Structure 1
Amino acid sequence: MLQRIQTIYLMLAAGASGGLIYAFYLWGLDDGTQVWAKDVNYVFAAFLTSAFFSVVAIFRYKNRKSQFMLGRLNIILNFILLGFFVYQSLISSGEFYGSEKGVGLFIPIISIVFLALANKAIKKDEDLVKSVDRLR
Protein backbone atom coordinates (compact mmCIF):
# COMPACT_ATOMS: atom_id res chain seq x y z
CA MET A 1 0.00 0.00 0.00
CA LEU A 2 1.55 3.19 -1.14
CA GLN A 3 -0.65 5.46 1.00
CA ARG A 4 1.18 4.73 4.26
CA ILE A 5 3.13 7.38 6.17
CA GLN A 6 6.46 5.64 5.62
CA THR A 7 6.02 6.21 1.89
CA ILE A 8 5.94 9.96 2.55
CA TYR A 9 9.04 9.72 4.73
CA LEU A 10 10.88 7.64 2.14
CA MET A 11 9.93 10.10 -0.63
CA LEU A 12 11.24 12.98 1.49
CA ALA A 13 14.48 11.07 2.14
CA ALA A 14 14.84 10.36 -1.60
CA GLY A 15 14.15 14.01 -2.36
CA ALA A 16 16.72 15.14 0.16
CA SER A 17 19.40 12.75 -1.11
CA GLY A 18 18.64 13.09 -4.80
CA GLY A 19 17.35 16.63 -5.10
CA LEU A 20 18.94 18.87 -2.51
CA ILE A 21 22.44 18.07 -3.79
CA TYR A 22 21.65 20.27 -6.79
CA ALA A 23 20.40 23.16 -4.64
CA PHE A 24 23.14 23.43 -1.99
CA TYR A 25 26.91 23.25 -2.31
CA LEU A 26 29.02 21.19 0.08
CA TRP A 27 31.89 23.55 0.87
CA GLY A 28 33.66 26.57 -0.53
CA LEU A 29 37.34 26.97 -1.27
CA ASP A 30 39.50 30.00 -0.53
CA ASP A 31 39.57 31.11 -4.16
CA GLY A 32 35.78 31.47 -4.14
CA THR A 33 34.88 28.28 -5.97
CA GLN A 34 32.14 26.11 -4.55
CA VAL A 35 32.38 22.32 -4.40
CA TRP A 36 29.07 20.63 -5.29
CA ALA A 37 28.23 16.97 -4.82
CA LYS A 38 28.48 16.34 -8.56
CA ASP A 39 32.10 17.54 -8.49
CA VAL A 40 33.20 14.69 -6.20
CA ASN A 41 32.32 11.42 -7.93
CA TYR A 42 32.09 9.12 -4.91
CA VAL A 43 30.01 11.62 -2.93
CA PHE A 44 27.67 12.02 -5.89
CA ALA A 45 27.41 8.22 -6.22
CA ALA A 46 26.68 7.86 -2.50
CA PHE A 47 23.89 10.45 -2.65
CA LEU A 48 22.33 8.84 -5.72
CA THR A 49 22.62 5.37 -4.15
CA SER A 50 20.87 6.67 -1.06
CA ALA A 51 18.07 8.12 -3.18
CA PHE A 52 17.84 4.84 -5.14
CA PHE A 53 17.56 2.79 -1.92
CA SER A 54 14.75 5.05 -0.73
CA VAL A 55 12.83 4.70 -3.99
CA VAL A 56 13.31 0.92 -4.03
CA ALA A 57 12.12 0.74 -0.41
CA ILE A 58 8.93 2.58 -1.37
CA PHE A 59 8.01 -0.15 -3.84
CA ARG A 60 8.91 -2.98 -1.46
CA TYR A 61 5.74 -2.29 0.56
CA LYS A 62 4.57 -5.92 0.33
CA ASN A 63 7.70 -7.15 2.09
CA ARG A 64 8.09 -5.00 5.18
CA LYS A 65 11.20 -6.83 6.41
CA SER A 66 13.15 -6.04 3.26
CA GLN A 67 11.78 -2.49 3.32
CA PHE A 68 13.05 -2.13 6.89
CA MET A 69 16.41 -3.66 5.92
CA LEU A 70 16.80 -1.23 3.00
CA GLY A 71 16.04 1.64 5.36
CA ARG A 72 18.74 0.50 7.77
CA LEU A 73 21.23 0.03 4.94
CA ASN A 74 20.40 3.53 3.73
CA ILE A 75 20.92 4.95 7.22
CA ILE A 76 24.34 3.29 7.39
CA LEU A 77 25.24 4.73 3.98
CA ASN A 78 24.21 8.21 5.12
CA PHE A 79 26.25 7.84 8.33
CA ILE A 80 29.28 6.92 6.23
CA LEU A 81 28.66 9.98 4.05
CA LEU A 82 28.24 12.14 7.15
CA GLY A 83 31.47 10.74 8.58
CA PHE A 84 33.27 11.65 5.37
CA PHE A 85 31.90 15.19 5.58
CA VAL A 86 32.99 15.53 9.21
CA TYR A 87 36.46 14.26 8.29
CA GLN A 88 36.61 16.62 5.31
CA SER A 89 35.57 19.60 7.42
CA LEU A 90 38.14 18.76 10.09
CA ILE A 91 41.08 18.47 7.71
CA SER A 92 40.09 21.59 5.80
CA SER A 93 39.22 23.78 8.75
CA GLY A 94 41.09 26.97 9.35
CA GLU A 95 42.36 29.25 6.65
CA PHE A 96 44.43 26.77 4.66
CA TYR A 97 42.15 24.99 2.22
CA GLY A 98 38.68 26.30 2.76
CA SER A 99 36.93 27.76 5.71
CA GLU A 100 33.43 27.98 4.28
CA LYS A 101 31.19 25.01 4.94
CA GLY A 102 28.05 24.71 2.86
CA VAL A 103 24.53 23.74 3.80
CA GLY A 104 24.93 20.60 1.70
CA LEU A 105 26.94 19.02 4.51
CA PHE A 106 23.68 18.62 6.46
CA ILE A 107 21.80 16.71 3.75
CA PRO A 108 22.75 13.28 5.20
CA ILE A 109 21.36 14.35 8.59
CA ILE A 110 18.04 15.31 6.99
CA SER A 111 17.94 12.00 5.16
CA ILE A 112 18.79 10.03 8.32
CA VAL A 113 15.92 11.68 10.21
CA PHE A 114 13.38 10.83 7.49
CA LEU A 115 14.72 7.27 7.19
CA ALA A 116 14.51 6.74 10.95
CA LEU A 117 10.90 7.96 10.93
CA ALA A 118 10.11 5.64 8.02
CA ASN A 119 11.69 2.67 9.80
CA LYS A 120 9.71 3.48 12.93
CA ALA A 121 6.47 3.46 10.91
CA ILE A 122 7.45 0.22 9.15
CA LYS A 123 8.15 -1.41 12.52
CA LYS A 124 4.79 -0.20 13.80
CA ASP A 125 3.02 -1.75 10.80
CA GLU A 126 4.90 -5.02 11.25
CA ASP A 127 3.96 -5.17 14.94
CA LEU A 128 0.31 -4.49 14.05
CA VAL A 129 0.26 -7.32 11.51
CA LYS A 130 1.89 -9.70 14.02
CA SER A 131 -0.67 -8.80 16.69
CA VAL A 132 -3.57 -9.43 14.29
CA ASP A 133 -2.04 -12.77 13.27
CA ARG A 134 -1.95 -13.82 16.91
CA LEU A 135 -5.67 -13.20 17.26
CA ARG A 136 -6.57 -15.53 14.38
Structure 2
Amino acid sequence: MIQRIQSIWLLLAGLTICCLLFIPMVTANIGGIEYHIIASGLYQKTGSLTKQVESFLPLFISTIAVVIMCFVNIFNFKKRTIQKRICMASAVLIIGLSFWCSQYAKKIPGGLDTANYSVGMFLPVIAIFFIILAIRGINNDEKLLRSADRLR
Protein backbone atom coordinates (compact mmCIF):
# COMPACT_ATOMS: atom_id res chain seq x y z
CA MET A 1 0.00 0.00 0.00
CA ILE A 2 1.30 3.41 -0.88
CA GLN A 3 2.10 5.48 2.17
CA ARG A 4 -0.19 8.44 2.53
CA ILE A 5 -0.97 10.98 5.20
CA GLN A 6 0.67 9.12 8.11
CA SER A 7 4.10 9.71 6.62
CA ILE A 8 3.47 13.45 6.79
CA TRP A 9 2.31 13.19 10.42
CA LEU A 10 5.37 11.12 11.37
CA LEU A 11 7.63 13.60 9.59
CA LEU A 12 6.02 16.48 11.47
CA ALA A 13 6.36 14.61 14.79
CA GLY A 14 10.05 14.01 14.12
CA LEU A 15 10.63 17.63 13.15
CA THR A 16 8.76 18.84 16.23
CA ILE A 17 10.93 16.76 18.55
CA CYS A 18 14.01 17.84 16.58
CA CYS A 19 13.10 21.45 17.43
CA LEU A 20 13.83 20.63 21.09
CA LEU A 21 17.49 20.79 20.11
CA PHE A 22 17.18 24.45 19.09
CA ILE A 23 14.19 26.02 20.87
CA PRO A 24 14.53 26.80 24.59
CA MET A 25 12.22 25.00 26.99
CA VAL A 26 12.75 27.22 30.01
CA THR A 27 14.32 30.66 30.29
CA ALA A 28 15.24 32.74 33.32
CA ASN A 29 16.75 36.19 33.69
CA ILE A 30 18.73 36.54 36.92
CA GLY A 31 20.76 39.68 37.53
CA GLY A 32 21.09 40.58 33.86
CA ILE A 33 22.25 37.09 32.94
CA GLU A 34 19.85 35.07 30.83
CA TYR A 35 19.73 31.30 31.27
CA HIS A 36 17.96 28.93 28.93
CA ILE A 37 17.62 25.18 28.67
CA ILE A 38 17.51 23.22 25.44
CA ALA A 39 17.87 19.45 25.02
CA SER A 40 21.66 19.65 24.84
CA GLY A 41 22.19 21.59 28.07
CA LEU A 42 21.93 24.69 30.21
CA TYR A 43 23.19 27.85 28.53
CA GLN A 44 24.14 31.22 29.98
CA LYS A 45 23.90 34.37 27.89
CA THR A 46 25.66 37.54 28.98
CA GLY A 47 25.41 40.31 26.41
CA SER A 48 26.15 38.70 23.06
CA LEU A 49 28.22 35.83 24.49
CA THR A 50 26.48 32.47 25.00
CA LYS A 51 28.23 29.62 26.75
CA GLN A 52 27.17 26.19 27.90
CA VAL A 53 27.12 25.89 31.68
CA GLU A 54 26.03 22.26 31.93
CA SER A 55 25.69 19.50 29.37
CA PHE A 56 22.69 17.14 29.29
CA LEU A 57 24.24 14.45 27.08
CA PRO A 58 21.78 11.63 27.99
CA LEU A 59 18.82 13.91 27.23
CA PHE A 60 20.45 14.98 23.96
CA ILE A 61 21.02 11.36 22.88
CA SER A 62 17.47 10.38 23.86
CA THR A 63 16.03 13.26 21.85
CA ILE A 64 18.05 12.25 18.79
CA ALA A 65 16.92 8.61 19.25
CA VAL A 66 13.23 9.58 19.32
CA VAL A 67 13.69 11.75 16.22
CA ILE A 68 15.39 8.90 14.35
CA MET A 69 12.67 6.51 15.51
CA CYS A 70 9.97 8.75 14.02
CA PHE A 71 11.85 9.19 10.75
CA VAL A 72 12.64 5.48 10.34
CA ASN A 73 9.02 4.58 11.09
CA ILE A 74 7.98 6.37 7.90
CA PHE A 75 9.56 3.56 5.87
CA ASN A 76 7.63 0.76 7.65
CA PHE A 77 4.56 1.38 5.53
CA LYS A 78 4.37 -2.23 4.32
CA LYS A 79 4.20 -3.48 7.91
CA ARG A 80 1.31 -1.48 9.31
CA THR A 81 1.03 -3.34 12.63
CA ILE A 82 4.73 -2.80 13.34
CA GLN A 83 4.38 0.82 12.26
CA LYS A 84 1.49 1.30 14.67
CA ARG A 85 3.43 -0.32 17.54
CA ILE A 86 6.45 1.86 16.88
CA CYS A 87 4.16 4.91 16.86
CA MET A 88 2.78 3.93 20.26
CA ALA A 89 6.30 3.33 21.58
CA SER A 90 7.35 6.73 20.22
CA ALA A 91 4.45 8.40 22.03
CA VAL A 92 5.43 6.71 25.31
CA LEU A 93 9.08 7.72 24.80
CA ILE A 94 8.05 11.32 24.08
CA ILE A 95 6.06 11.37 27.33
CA GLY A 96 9.15 10.09 29.16
CA LEU A 97 11.32 12.61 27.35
CA SER A 98 9.05 15.49 28.38
CA PHE A 99 9.14 14.30 32.00
CA TRP A 100 12.92 14.12 31.80
CA CYS A 101 13.04 17.64 30.33
CA SER A 102 10.96 18.92 33.23
CA GLN A 103 13.41 17.31 35.69
CA TYR A 104 16.32 19.05 33.98
CA ALA A 105 14.37 22.32 33.98
CA LYS A 106 14.61 22.32 37.77
CA LYS A 107 18.38 22.81 37.41
CA ILE A 108 17.94 26.36 36.11
CA PRO A 109 19.46 28.92 38.52
CA GLY A 110 16.77 30.40 40.73
CA GLY A 111 14.55 27.35 40.33
CA LEU A 112 11.29 27.14 38.47
CA ASP A 113 9.82 30.01 40.49
CA THR A 114 11.79 32.60 38.51
CA ALA A 115 11.67 30.69 35.21
CA ASN A 116 9.50 31.39 32.19
CA TYR A 117 8.23 28.47 30.15
CA SER A 118 9.01 28.78 26.47
CA VAL A 119 7.59 27.16 23.37
CA GLY A 120 9.92 24.19 23.81
CA MET A 121 7.91 22.83 26.74
CA PHE A 122 4.84 22.42 24.52
CA LEU A 123 6.61 20.73 21.60
CA PRO A 124 6.30 17.17 23.02
CA VAL A 125 2.53 17.62 23.32
CA ILE A 126 2.35 18.71 19.68
CA ALA A 127 4.51 15.74 18.64
CA ILE A 128 2.22 13.30 20.48
CA PHE A 129 -0.75 14.88 18.70
CA PHE A 130 0.98 14.28 15.35
CA ILE A 131 1.69 10.66 16.30
CA ILE A 132 -1.96 10.12 17.23
CA LEU A 133 -2.93 11.47 13.82
CA ALA A 134 -0.42 9.07 12.20
CA ILE A 135 -1.97 6.13 14.06
CA ARG A 136 -5.36 7.26 12.83
CA GLY A 137 -4.02 7.30 9.26
CA ILE A 138 -2.61 3.79 9.67
CA ASN A 139 -5.99 2.58 10.94
CA ASN A 140 -7.68 4.15 7.92
CA ASP A 141 -5.26 2.31 5.62
CA GLU A 142 -6.08 -0.97 7.35
CA LYS A 143 -9.81 -0.31 6.91
CA LEU A 144 -9.27 0.45 3.24
CA LEU A 145 -7.33 -2.79 2.73
CA ARG A 146 -9.97 -4.84 4.55
CA SER A 147 -12.72 -3.37 2.38
CA ALA A 148 -10.66 -4.01 -0.77
CA ASP A 149 -10.14 -7.63 0.31
CA ARG A 150 -13.89 -8.09 0.71
CA LEU A 151 -14.45 -6.93 -2.85
CA ARG A 152 -12.10 -9.54 -4.33
TM-score range (shorter-chain normalised) is 0.7 to 0.9
SS of residue matched to 1:33: strand
| 1:77 to 2:76 alignment | no
Equivalence map 1:18-29=2 (5 Å): 18=18, 20-29=19-28
The letter of the residue matching 2:6 is Q
SS of residue matched to 1:93: coil
Match of 1:50 in 2: 66
The letter of the residue matching 2:35 is T
Q: Aligned residues, how many? A: 131
CA distance in 2, matches of 1:58, 1:103: 26
Match of 1:93 in 2: 112
* 1:21 shift after superposition: 2.1
TM-score (norm 2): 0.75
SS of residue matched to 1:79: helix
TM-score (norm 1): 0.83
Two-structure CA RMSD over aligned residues (Å)? 2.1
* 1:133 shift after superposition: 1.9
Quick check: 1:89–1:101 contact (8 Å CA) kept in 2?
A: no
CA distance in 1, matches of 2:39, 2:20: 6
Match of 1:109 in 2: 125
The letter of the residue matching 2:14 is A
Change in 2 beyond 3 A, CA 1:22/1:83? closer
Structure 1, 51-60 or 126-135: larger mean CA deviation: 126-135
SS of residue matched to 1:94: coil
* 1:124 shift after superposition: 0.9
The letter of the residue matching 2:117 is K
Match of 2:38 in 1: 36
SS of residue matched to 1:35: strand
Identity %, equivalent residues: 27
CA distance in 2, matches of 1:43, 1:110: 19
SS of residue matched to 1:32: strand
CA distance in 2, matches of 1:107, 1:47: 12
Task: Name the larger-Rg structure.
Answer: 2
> Gaps spanning 5+ residues in structure 2: where?
42-55
Residues 45-88 of structure 1 show CA distances to partners (whole Å, capped at 9, x for unaligned) of 22211111111110111111111111111000111122234455
CA distance in 2, matches of 1:107, 1:46: 15
SS of residue matched to 1:28: strand
Higher helix share: 1
> Gaps spanning 5+ residues in structure 1: where?
none
